[in-house]
Every structure is written in structure tokens, then in C-alpha cells.
Structure 1
């Protein structure tokens, strides 16, 4: 989701913007990013990094419209997807559900107690992290992830890399969606809070709509420290879904962590 940083001053979204932002408008705005061929490539890479047997139980945390959860189930995993947005879950369920693919609505800061130590793997993808006003809530999410995992379980986090996004970024961007909406994004980065604020302007049939959301960006160093505090040991840091290591120029990063050695 994070595409750039350090733009003009701009407005501040409400602290609970994430409660209503992920709707049909979001799906339209980001439709050029969603590509089934690329998603299959990403899931192939996730399967390689998870290194779990057929039938292993995997949680897609903040699963959105089920882009990855559906394909992970198709690849042979037993998948649960969790998201707060009813609109995203409706879209996810429309892709299909079954014995090995289930969706649950919930807050990733407070995951179900029945899921404790139930998962062989957890994934959090597409910068679906850093939404909350209080940074302690981000740490709380990672502690919830650790609670979900069995000993030796794998966690994969993928999203924007603060180092690169604040060094070389797009102050603004524009495109046209699949439904013909003209989208303009203007961005501002606050180095103190770490928040990247994105102001979106949609124009369609002469109707203009504006809304704002924000994401707290992390460096690999900071994120690894939070993972360690949660009881997770980082075993790999990559240039997004690519096989190469993270570099200063990597706009995306992917971290692999484990919850202690298997017994």
C-alpha cells in the first residue's frame, strides 16, 4: 500500500480511519495494483519461505479481499483469513470458501483466544500494518502473532521500507482505475511519528471525492526489534518478494521470523 513519502503538508485523517476506509472505493482505487499473475508469483514465494507441509494451518492477518488467502488454500494450506472490514470480507468470501478456507471478522490487536498456538504460519502482507495512532498497538499486534504460532511457527511480514520510501519517493501520483475513476494521490511524511499520510482525490463523471488515510512506516531495524520483543526471531530479510536481500534502495521489504525452535 505504501507508495511514497514526504509530500505537502495536508490534512490529518481521523485516528480510526481504518474502520471505514477499506470499502468498494478502496478496491477501485487500488485496482491497477491487483494482478492475479503477480499474486500467484507472490504466493509461490510465500510457500517457499513458509516451508510448511501440505495441510499446515496458516493465518492471513488483515487478509483484505482474500487475494493471498484464496491462493494459499489453493496451494494446499488450511487457511484462516482475518480482517476488520466487512466490505473486504464480503469480497473475499465471493472468491470462495470451504473446509480449508475460512474468514473471520476481527481486530488484529485482539485475536481470538481459540486460535492460541493453532497456526504453523502467519502472514501479514501489503503494508497491512501501522494503522493505529498509538505505536504500542503495533507492538501489540506482533505479540498477538506470537500467541497464534506454534513453537517453530513462521511469521512473514511484507510491506513498505521506510529507508527507501523516504529517500526516493513520489510526492504525488495519478492513474485511472479499471472503472474509469481518475485517482490523484498527494503524500506527506512526518519523520517524528513515522506516519505517511496519503490524500486521495477521486474524479468520476465530474464527481469529486476526497479522503485521507495514513500508515506508520518502519525500518527493518525497528521492525526486527519489535519482533524480538514479541518473542519472534528474524531469520531472513528480503527485497520484497524477490529472492535477493534487502538493500537501501528496496522500496518493499519482507521479513521472515520464527517463534522459538521446534521441540
Structure 2
């Protein structure tokens, strides 16, 4: 299923991706993980997966909390970096989320920080959810943390310039053909670069249709990293807790 021309295959493996986003709020992310753990209360024996784990920051944090954690990501470079932190209860693998990893092997799967909806074809999102469902143990739970799409579109910043370590990133955003497109242009050492992020502009009702098709039952939906109630107009996030 891997197509090297897919935008996420090249961009997520680029050092410029990690440079542009290097100042993401690690403390906020850890608070979110703590809130999820307090809410879900996994037993110490549970097996956890961080799906689309990047360089493994959140998987490492979950492992430090005492859990057996597996991190999966399509980016070979990110997984190569994460592997230095492996131990008996922490492992990382290059993997395409559209494929089953290990049948019925995990109690909890986390798909966080809008790491969904990358694919060109809508049906691939359903294929992804079916693969996740098959990877979950019976009665296992899935957490999908996605942007609140309507709020993002309403507040879309069309143009932005950001300087990081001497590189000036010129960022444009628009909604096109059902996707939110972010174009990132910059020069480094006289060489011009352009990358595009494409995330499907999925609304709440579309997720509900996906969940119905993949026999995932909604156990709760929250609107922020404190797990406050979801408000379609005001919430920053759509955080779905699903049960197989």
C-alpha cells in the first residue's frame, strides 16, 4: 500500500518537518496522556499501541508510566530515532496503519494529534479503522484525537511566515476538494523546497459513519485535552473513545 509519492511518506521523513514543529508543547501532550490514563485506567498488564508515533515521544512517556508499549509509524527515520529508547516493554516498528499489525494483540490503541485522514481515497480511512479494529483485543479501546474540523476551517490562517534556525518557512492554507491543504515553501543553502500537508476535512458525522462501518462503538467524545465536553462550535478537538 505504501506509495513513496504520498505527501506524508516524504514530508514526515524530512528533517525539515521536525525542525518546523520542534516547539510543539510537550507538557500539554503529557497532561493529555495523563488525563487519558486517568480516564481509561488501563491495568498494568495491558498492551498499548501508539499508532503514528513519530519519534516516539508519547510512547516513551507511556512506557515510563509502566506500560508495555508498541509505537508504529510509516517514517523510517522517525522509527530509527525512536529505537534507541527501546527496552523489554517498549518497541518501535515501521508500519502502514492501513494494514493489520498483530491480530487481536492490543488492549488500547492511541491515534493522537490529528494522525488520521491523510489518504487520497475516502475508503482508505475505513480500511485503516478496520485494520485497527482487527488489531484490538475483544473489548479493546481506541482513542482517536482529531482536530475539530469546522472550527479549524472557520479560523483558517491563509498565510503565515515562520522562522526557525535561520530558515524562513512560508506557509499557506486552504480548503480544497474536501481536504485542508497546507503548503510549506522555503529555501535552505540556496535550494528551494516545497511540501504539502493534506488532511481530509472530516466532520463529526463522517467519523460516526466510519465507526458504524467498522463496528466500533462510541464510548465517549471530548472537546479538549482536559477531556472537557465536546462542543461542535467551540471545541478545539474531537477526541473519540471507541470500544471494539
* Pair in the same fold by TM > 0.5: yes
1:98-113 superposed matches below 5 A: 98-112=87-101
1:26 and 1:66 mapped to 2: Cα distance?
15
Paired position in structure 2 for 1:58: 48
Paired position in structure 1 for 2:138: 151
Paired position in structure 2 for 1:117: 104
- Structure 2 residue matching 1:18: 3-state secondary structure: helix
> Which of residues 31, 36, 40 in structure 1 aligns to 2:22?
31
Residue by residue over 1:31-66, the C-alpha shift from the partner in whole angstroms, topping out at 9 and shown as x without a partner, is: 122x33222212102212332111310111111111
Paired position in structure 1 for 2:76: 86
- Structure 2 residue matching 1:91: 3-state secondary structure: helix
1:106 Cα deviation from its structure 2 partner: 1.3
1:235 equivalent in alignment to 2:224? no
1:258 Cα deviation from its structure 2 partner: 0.5
1:205 and 1:19 mapped to 2: Cα distance?
23
Paired position in structure 1 for 2:124: 137
Residue by residue over 1:46-91, the C-alpha shift from the partner in whole angstroms, topping out at 9 and shown as x without a partner, is: 2123321113101111111112111111111111111111111122
Is the contact made by 2:156 and 2:174 (CA closer than 8 Å) also made in structure 1? no
Paired position in structure 1 for 2:182: 198
Classify 1:242/1:172 alpha carbon distance in 2 versus 1 (closer, same or farther; 3 Å): farther
1:254 equivalent in alignment to 2:239? yes
1:22 equivalent in alignment to 2:12? yes
- Structure 2 residue matching 1:20: 3-state secondary structure: helix
Is the contact made by 2:83 and 2:92 (CA closer than 8 Å) also made in structure 1? yes
Is the contact made by 1:50 and 1:121 (CA closer than 8 Å) also made in structure 2? no
Give the structure, 1 or 2, with the largest relative contact order (CA under 8 Å, sep 6 or more): 1
Taking only aligned residues, the RMSD between alpha carbons, in angstroms, comes to 1.8
Gaps of 5+ in 2: none
Is the contact made by 1:234 and 1:258 (CA closer than 8 Å) also made in structure 2? yes
1:169 Cα deviation from its structure 2 partner: 1.9
1:188 equivalent in alignment to 2:179? no
TM-score (norm 2): 0.91
May I ask how many residue pairs the two structures share in their alignment?
239
Residue by residue over 1:139-191, the C-alpha shift from the partner in whole angstroms, topping out at 9 and shown as x without a partner, is: 110111111111221100012121111222211223223x332222101102x
1:256 Cα deviation from its structure 2 partner: 0.5
1:19 Cα deviation from its structure 2 partner: 1.6
Q: Identify the range of structure 1 (56-65 vs 246-255) with the bigger mean alpha-carbon deviation.
A: 246-255
Is the contact made by 1:172 and 1:186 (CA closer than 8 Å) also made in structure 2? yes
Gaps of 5+ in 1: 1-13
